[in-house]
Amino acid sequence: MKRFILSLILTFAYCLAQAQLYVPGETLHYKMSYRAKLFPNTEVANVVMQTTETTLDGQPAYKVYGMGQTAKAFNWIFPVKDAYTVWVDPATLRTKRFEADLQEGDYTRKSTFIFDWHNHKVHTRWRTKQRPEQLRTMDISDNSMDAISLYFNMRTVDDKEIKEGFARDLEMVLEDTVRYLKFRYEGREVKKIKNLGKFNTLKFRCKIATSDGYAFQDGTEFEVWISDDRNKIPLYIKSPIKVGSVQAYLTSYEGLRYPLDSFIKK
């Protein structure tokens, strides 16, 4: 059960990252749930994503904060509270700095990535309660992103590109390696979101490569439904696991840049 809850949080961190647009003042709240044949739809975690304007090293920046934690009813099993912060260049929309502060039961991990786009390098450092600080420098390409900035990529796709056959390959930077990710457009759907109503959506299917390539592992495949309007906010996410599936759905939102024209009815 401990590994399941942790996998659930990480799965959402990766797939929500496919669809977050940089909109200062925007806040999105989600609930995550687990469903299996012999289990009802059980809510096990909450996630919030928030974007603000700030400065970094004296330069303007977007600051994106994401936090996922287990629901109170599950803290006795395995308390998780993972926080991610990203600073982004408003002109290029490239990550300048990434920080993660993970608290998962007795395990803690702090990470910092510094992106050097001029030389196409990323300098990472991380430490845990059990291990001293480690450092690494890796080569990156124009398609490289941290796990949170991946959220922004799908929402910045030009509407003219979103048509049958559209697909994109990206690279996700972790502390000591780079994982490859593919996502492709699946079409338009009307999707019902719990307590919010029905929406016109754009559906994407995504896959994260593991160390063994693109073989299936829990949390490496998922589907994302984003609002079919100018906001392109992620409304619903689903990922199969070996027993059952993981879902995440939008529960509330604040500070959207545009009207939520994708909404149909309650």
pLDDT at residue 133, as a whole number: 92
* 35 falls within a domain: yes
Total domain count for the chain?
1
pLDDT of residue 215: 43
What pLDDT score was predicted for residue 154?
A: 61
Q: Is 165 a member of any domain?
A: yes
CA gap 152, 180 in Å, rounded: 16
**Residue carrying structure tokens 């109503």:** 197
Amino acid identity, position 82: D
Q: Answer yes or no: is 229 within a domain.
A: yes
**Whether residue 265 has pLDDT greater than 70:** yes
Residue 63 has which token pair?
A: 């600051």
Q: What is the mean pLDDT of residues 150-168?
A: 73
Average pLDDT over residues 15-23: 54
pLDDT at 179 over 80: no
| pLDDT confidence tier of residue 150, bands split at 50, 70 and 90 | low
Q: What is the pLDDT of residue 216?
A: 39
Predicted confidence at residue 55, as pLDDT, reads 96
Q: What would the two tokens of residue 192 be?
A: 């019902």
Mean pLDDT along residues 246-257: 91
Asked if residue 265 belongs to a domain, the reply is no
Amino acid 1: pLDDT: 44
State the residue range of the domain holding 27. 2-251
CA-to-CA separations, 226 to 74, 191, 193, 200, 204, in angstroms, rounded = 28, 10, 11, 9, 8
CA torsion angle 179 246 183 214 (round to 10)? 50
- Which of 143-147, 257-261, 262-266 comes out lowest in average pLDDT? 143-147
257 domain-assigned: no
pLDDT in tens, 68-126: 888 888 788 778 888 888 898 888 888 899 998 988 888 898 999 999 999 999 999 99
Contact 152, 94 (CB under 8 A): no
The answer to whether 94 and 116 are in contact (CB under 8 A) is no
Q: What is the mean pLDDT of the chain?
A: 81
User: By mean pLDDT, which of 25-29, 131-135, 207-211 is the weakest?
Assistant: 207-211
- pLDDT at res. 135: 94
* Lowest pLDDT segment from 30-34, 132-136, 178-182, 241-245: 241-245
Tell me the pTM.
0.83
